Structure 1
């Protein structure tokens, strides 16, 4: 049974709880990002255009590196972003063991448009289908495809396949927008005192957010390439819980497809990271 799915509905109590949560979270995020710290955003117009003015029925999927437990919602708290508008707000995949520990937290994050994901539960777990439903609705979904927080200044890690599976299975291929950020690891460090996070976000830090250009995926072509590759190469089947076929592809072809999509996203995020380091060294 999906965790408090009823609370995530748009019409839950007339939408009032969702509006209140977005106003509160938005005010908190804007305070931390703009008043207590300094946030610089590059290529903001691209993000705003796709959040506000993309064609009807076309979903938006943003992907970003994961630097702290507060990346979302703080990364949307910069100036001129409509973070307090629940209609424009993102749906985000959130770790079930962190955000959904008890009924109170579950309700809070559910009305905040968070979708619980069981880490290690596989790419075909029930809640991934819920994320797919949101893309099918033409909504905006955000993911952290690295799967966990990493505060080291290191290359983008190998991405989990969940994001790739959403892109491949969506009835309308989403606009995939890459985002790289740095600075949140200083605002909410994992090992601040006695190996714990600080009780409140830290101040006087510099945050930089780099918005890339949309990554274009020709899904029919990629699917055919995956089928051809899987036939030529021996690929062991080790995910017995996977469905026998998805979009007409067996498991071997699915694995090829998700690897290709994930590698492309990883490459683009790594390029954004390189650009950010160049800017950092220049300033």
Structure 2
């Protein structure tokens, strides 16, 4: 179903009016929840604002964060000073197909709102991962939740899925990768609130903290050469992935995606630990 609505994600769909309406409504909702009925503090917001507004032309941006509620996106962009109503610089985001694209109405709204459906368990070469690559090729901003699901426990960052790493590696221009850690959205939208279900509306009077890190540096040429060398000496199960544009076979890809994911996970965990000490001080 979602594939048939790729047209709704186009910038020129109905002259862009549906996108402006949806993003204005969702932006107003995010601003209300994050900045009015709850209290939000943001550390290092200028780094995110600069990269969203004025990174080098044509260079894509990938932001990665932990995932504590079904409303992390868009609520995490609702803090004061963030240009959430600007449709041109608004993020694209990878979203779970089984949650956000359950029917035609949902599919249309999320597509217009710059969401890309991802099938859980569909692998890194599923159709819409190529769509995400197209957005990166256009120099756009993409947000991902590399843990792959909602975790409401205040615990170390889990092992990351390979999807984000594969996009970083396969993008023609290496994206700027910015880690973000947040805390508090699990209290705004708890998974088990009434009879084991989420509340019908976001809760209020909660404290939200957003910690924005610094861009993660990847030396992909060197990492790719290391992946080729290491994969020759190891035993990796294969399922028939195509070679990448720079010639990496499946074994080398698996090694490289693991290495990139571990680097992102480590950066996110450092940020999480910093955030905990920052909030205690």
Q: Retained in 2: the 8 A contact 1:22–1:86? A: yes
Equivalent position of 1:162 in the other structure: 163
Distance 1:137 1:85 in 2: 17
* Mapping of residues 239-278 of structure 1, within 5 Å: 239-240=239-240, 242-244=241-243, 247-278=246-277
Equivalent position of 1:197 in the other structure: 198
Q: Retained in 2: the 8 A contact 1:68–1:190? A: yes
In structure 1, list runs of 5 or more residues that go unmatched: none
Give the structure-2-normalised TM-score: 0.98
Q: Retained in 2: the 8 A contact 1:8–1:111? A: yes
* Mapping of residues 80-91 of structure 1, within 5 Å: 80-91=81-92
Q: Are residues 1:114 and 2:115 paired?
A: yes
In structure 2, list runs of 5 or more residues that go unmatched: none
Q: Which runs of 4+ in 1 moved over 6 A?
A: none
Distance 2:78 2:243 in 1: 43
Equivalent position of 2:77 in the other structure: 76
- Cα distance change on mapping 1:60 and 1:244 into 2, 3 Å: closer
Q: Retained in 2: the 8 A contact 1:46–1:211? A: yes
Equivalent position of 2:133 in the other structure: 132
The alpha carbon displacement at 1:46 in A equals 0.3
Equivalent position of 2:236 in the other structure: 236
Distance 1:17 1:236 in 2: 46
Q: Are residues 1:226 and 2:254 paired?
A: no
Q: Retained in 1: the 8 A contact 2:185–2:208? A: yes
Distance 1:48 1:208 in 2: 17
Equivalent position of 1:22 in the other structure: 23
Give the structure-1-normalised TM-score: 0.97
Matched pairs, number: 280
